[in-house]
Structure 1
Amino acid sequence: MSYCFIANYHLTPLQIEIARRIEQEGTSCVFVTVNNRLAQEIAEAGWAGERLLHLTFDPEGSEPEFNEVAICYNDLLVADRALRYTPEAGLHFLYRSARKLRDFFELHDVRFVFSEPTWAHERLAAALCAASGRRTFLTPFTIRYPSGRFAFFKNGDQDRLYPIGSSSLGEPTQTLVDIANSPPPSYLKRNDQLLKQARTISARIGRLRRFITRERIDPRDPTHIQSRWHTLQTKGGEEIKRILYRFVSRQAVDQELLQTPFVLYAMHKQPESSIDVLGRYYDDQSALLLAIWRSLPSGWNLLVKEHTNAIGDRAPSFYRNLQRWPGLRFIDEKTPMPMLLERTQAVFTVSGTVAYEAALKGIPAFTFAPMFFNQFDRCQRITIDDLRTSRNIAELIETLPPANAATNDIVASEILRNSFAGRFTDIVSDPTVLDPTNIEDLMAGFRELKRAAGLSGIA
């Protein structure tokens, strides 16, 4: 019996350290990677030969279709921000990877696969695990509120936490009120620091140099855009759109605006797994905003807050085409979220943290992707059809049950019971994740997972 980690760039050092600790406690670990540099790092750390599977991309390769398991290859392909540029070669890569992953998992009797659900090969592994009936794909990831805790999310989405049940770590003591009043996730402050660094002249020169030298491009890595033209379109386009964003009209939020009934939509960075993977089929945010706007009651506004990480993702025409609709207003992206939540009639998002924050405060919230915080009574997953069949958004809000503190306390307690102290993230987002105290916190969670899965006596 073994565990498998799918290496993911800056997350890999943490994955290696956790795998090392797991092996010290008697459970074998293996690795999968798609990157040559990471393959070397993992091999140097002790995982080489049959214990490391290196999947490679061949733009000229051909592979017969793999149909032993029902897999939506087209879905995997279109959501992948690199393979979508080479769809034919991308499909052949996925067919070949499906065979290799299946054989690798069988060879090592893999029980758990730990991975992000971002890239097509990661989601392919999730599909193979689901079809196996005896392997589980898990994503160790922050639960966002309260900050500094993570859980194991099942099957590549964030709608279900792996059930731990009665934990040997003790029962949670925080209440719904405690969580609602907790500070914002710590990664938000670090994101702001990284954004500030990325906008410096030296950072821009560095990105230009890397584009010219291609020093970080692995020609066999499916997550790298191989075409210089496509790279220039995406990366160069981002730089231009980031400069042009200063000319996009955004409305300052004043008391007059807050006194008019409004609903709030929080934009997603795109491409990003939160919208392209978790929010698949709802990834056209322009169409989604128009669908929400057309369902507004007369006299209501739709306030749209851009994601600070997403400045440069969208051309000025994106904003202009939407701003021509009366009452659809893009607001200053630096507007404090608590001020908006205090006055909004409801929050709309595809899968964003803002809905969780609203749910904790009893504010009506709607997501288009299934999320674990939809368990709160005022946070509901909806579809475009719900917007179409409701008289308007006011009626949609009225269908929500009144906030029930006792019920929501139970939901909050279940989230805490099935999550653990610890920060499972990459070393760029949080350079302290390799600190011994955090590693020990994370290991406590992995031990609880093994116990809950009934594997404690199995090496």
Structure 2
Amino acid sequence: MNICFVANFFKTYFFEGVANKLKNEGMEIYWICFDQEQFDHLSNIYSKGNCLLLSMGVIKKEAEPLADFKLNELVMGDRFLRHQQDWAFDYLKSIQPLAYNFVKEKGLKFVFGEITHAHEILLYRMLKMFKELKCKYLHPQSVRIPNKRFLFLEDEFQSKVCGEHLILNKEWESEWKIVEAVRPRRVAQVDKEVKNELSFSGRLKRLSNFFTNSNIKSDLPSVVHNKTKRSLIAVVQELNKFMYRFVKTDSFEVIQDKKYVLYTLHMQPEASVDVVGAYYDNQLKNIINIWRILPDDWFIVIKEHSNAIGNRSPKFFKSFKTLRNSILLHERVDSHKIIENAQAIFTVSGTIAYEAALKGKMAFTFADIFFNKLKNCTKISIETFRAIENFDDLIQMAKRANEGKMSIEDYSAYIYKISFKGIVDAPLNSEDWADEANFETVSRSFVSFINAIDE
């Protein structure tokens, strides 16, 4: 079977570790690369004929697209291309025929990659549209809870699991446990990474990269190439990190005896809000819209994401605090304590909605996400807010929606049937990052999935 991996920064190392194991299983491995250095490295291992280079060198002025793939949306949602619209559209048009022909000529059955950058989402949309290619773009994604398990998503919004009506995992009965609200393993690892970034040595390293351009590849589309723009983005982020220490935050005791709803802020830019939560990526607007439907004696509570400090300016928090009955909690306040006392939880696509639903609390997501199948976890929209008479009406709507959703026990069985052992989202330099045993586990899971879906 011919399968392909899409290179993506440090994730390429992980995919390469898995691909090497799959190659030993007799699978033919192909790669789609986005810079020359990456291409040369992978070509030496898998041969040039098995690798496609889609660097900035392929750009043709006024290239003809194969179809309409909502390029405006793709460019606006990409953290790099939105700053480089002078060539971004030509790039996305230019890679279309090259990618199409590569998939067709190599007879690819599956393409595995992230759904983060515009070119990745474009590849997904192309394979979805051009059914004659008989190839699926799949995104290996952590199930979030329980830890050390992953599944394969087949849409760009993390709502549709490939093979979700099948029993993909033949070992599910021996692995099955009731899913409980626990802190995802990755969160603790990312917190450690953030502490390192905020340290003096972390700042020094970023400063060194900034002046030496050591992390900038001239042909990679996923980089802001204009040094002035790149400098401005970096300076603003560092300034925001510095200024956040002067933003007044509150302790849990401030809200302990109050009626409140919680909205947890996402990192941004980040696929979880810019891609999965497309059209709900203005988080301040989301918060204001939630506040508008609350009873007038309730409070709107937000909490900064611990690894997102620097994403938002002091102006964001100042604007939030103009809302009556608004509280900004310290980012280190235990989310589970906040959930316990909350009337409801709101998020774009965050795991906190999943955790809240597992605790029996009402949770609402603006994105349609795979764990919305669980009772008490409901997808909402602006139209929902317009339609309800008051907040209690929203709760009653969610209770009615629960009639068609899974109990925790049913959801637990479901998630074990469609997911596999392995860690696919280990942060760089964490203990799981280069774990050989994990490569072995994940590759076995890939084989099990491919065999099950190909039956």
TM-score normalised by the chain length of structure 1: 0.93
Q: Aligned to 1:322, which of 309, 320, 323?
A: 320
Q: Distance in 2 between matches of 1:186 and 1:207?
A: 26
- The yes-or-no answer on 1:252 pairing with 2:251 is yes
Query: Per-residue deviation at 1:221?
Result: 0.7
Residues in 1 aligned to 2:430 and 2:236: alpha-carbon distance in whole angstroms: 28
Counterpart CA distance in 1 for 2:197 and 2:368 is 32
- Per the alignment, residue 16 of structure 2 pairs with 16
The aligned residue for residue 264 of structure 1 is 262
How far, CA to CA, are the matches of 1:212 and 1:440 in structure 2? Answer: 39
Q: Which stretch has the larger CA shift, 376-385 or 131-140?
A: 131-140
SS at match of 2:242: helix
Moved more, 407-416 or 101-110: 407-416
Question: Helix, strand or coil for the counterpart of 2:109?
Answer: strand
Shift of 1:427: 5.9
Cα deviation, residue 38, structure 1: 2.1
* 1:396 counterpart letter in structure 2: L
**In 2, Cα distance between equivalents of 1:170 and 1:250:** 44
For the pair 1:143 / 2:146, whether they are aligned, the reply is: no
The alpha carbon displacement at 1:437 in A equals: 2.3
CA distance in 1, matches of 2:18, 2:183: 26
- Residues 55-454 of structure 1: matches in 2 within 5 Å? 55-57=54-56, 61-66=60-65, 68-133=66-131, 134-163=134-163, 165-166=166-167, 167-171=169-173, 173-175=175-177, 178-181=178-181, 183-254=182-253, 257-401=255-399, 407-426=407-426, 428=428, 430-454=430-454
Q: Displacement, 1:174?
A: 3.6
Distance across 2 between alignment mates of 1:447 and 1:291? 45
- What is the rounded CA distance, in whole Å, between the counterparts of 1:106 and 1:430 in structure 2? 38
- Residues 195-234 of structure 1, C-alpha deviation per residue, up to 9 Å, x if partnerless? 1111122221221121112122111111010011111121
Partners in 1 of 2:406 and 2:247 — Cα distance?
45
Deviates more, 1:6-15 or 1:117-126: 6-15
Residues 8-39 of structure 1, C-alpha deviation per residue, up to 9 Å, x if partnerless?
Answer: 11111221121122122122110011123322
Deviations 1:236-278, CA, capped at 9 Å, x for gaps: 1111110000111212221x52221110001000000000000
Q: Deviations over 1:347-393 (max 9, x none)?
A: 00000000011111221000001100100121110001111221222
Q: Distance in 1 between matches of 2:222 and 2:124?
A: 17
Question: Which runs of at least 4 in structure 1 moved beyond 4 Å after TM superposition?
Answer: 58-61, 402-406
Query: Which secondary structure does the structure 2 equivalent of 1:110 belong to?
Result: coil
Decide whether aligned partners of structure 1 residues 376 and 170 sit closer, same or farther in structure 2, where only a CA change above 3 A counts: closer
Q: Is the 8 A contact 2:189 2:427 kept in 1?
A: no
| SS class of match (1:330) | strand
Distance 1:437 1:252 in 2: 41
Distance between the aligned counterparts of 2:414 and 2:13, measured in 1? 30
> Is the alpha carbon distance of 1:60 and 1:212 closer, same or farther for their aligned partners in structure 2, counting shifts above 3 Å?
farther
Would the aligned equivalents of 1:137 and 1:156 in 2 still touch at CA under 8 Å? no
Contact persistence 1:3–1:112 (CA under 8 A) = yes
Structure 1 stretch 6-15 or stretch 395-404: which is displaced more? Answer: 395-404
Counterpart secondary structure, 1:258: coil
8 A contact 1:12–1:426 mirrored in 2: no
User: 2:175 and 2:208 mapped to 1: Cα distance?
Assistant: 51
Q: More displaced, 118-127 or 47-56?
A: 47-56
8 Å Cα contact 2:186/2:427 also seen in 1: no
TM-score by length of 2: 0.94
Q: What's the CA shift for 1:60? A: 7.8
Kindly indicate whether the alpha-carbon contact (under 8 Å) linking 2:21 and 2:440 is maintained by their aligned counterparts in 1: no
| Aligned-partner Cα distance in 2 for 1:419–1:236 | 41
Distance 1:72 1:191, change over 3 A: same
Aligned length: 449
Shift of 1:172: 5.5
Shift of 1:406: 7.0
Cα gap change, 1:429 to 1:287, in 2 (>3 Å): farther
Query: In 1, Cα distance between the equivalents of 2:332 and 2:342?
Result: 17
Question: CA 1:201/1:430 → structure 2, altered by over 3 Å: closer, same or farther?
Answer: closer
Q: Percent identity at matched positions?
A: 29
8 A Cα contact 2:277 2:366, kept in partner: yes
* CA shift digits 1:165-212 (9 cap, x unpaired): 23332425544xx3215x311111111111111112222122112111
Q: Does the residue aligned with 1:442 lie in a helix, a strand or coil?
A: helix
**Partner AA of 2:170 in structure 1:** S
Cα distance change on mapping 1:361 and 1:173 into 2, 3 Å:
farther
CA distance in structure 2 between the aligned counterparts of 1:83 and 1:9, rounded to whole angstroms = 16
Q: Deviation of residue 61 (structure 1)?
A: 4.4
Measure the CA separation in 2 of the matches of 1:365 and 1:57. Answer: 43
The residue type equivalent to 2:268 in the other structure is: Q
Q: Report if the CA contact (8 A) 2:2-2:108 is conserved.
A: yes
In structure 1, what is the Cα distance between the partners aligned to 2:209 and 2:440? 37
- Give the direction of change, closer, same or farther, for the CA distance of 1:229–1:52 in structure 2 (3 Å limit): same
Cα deviation for residue 299 of structure 1 reads 0.4
For residues 431 and 6 of structure 1, the distance between their equivalents in structure 2, rounded to whole angstroms, comes to 24
Give the match for residue 37 of structure 1: 37
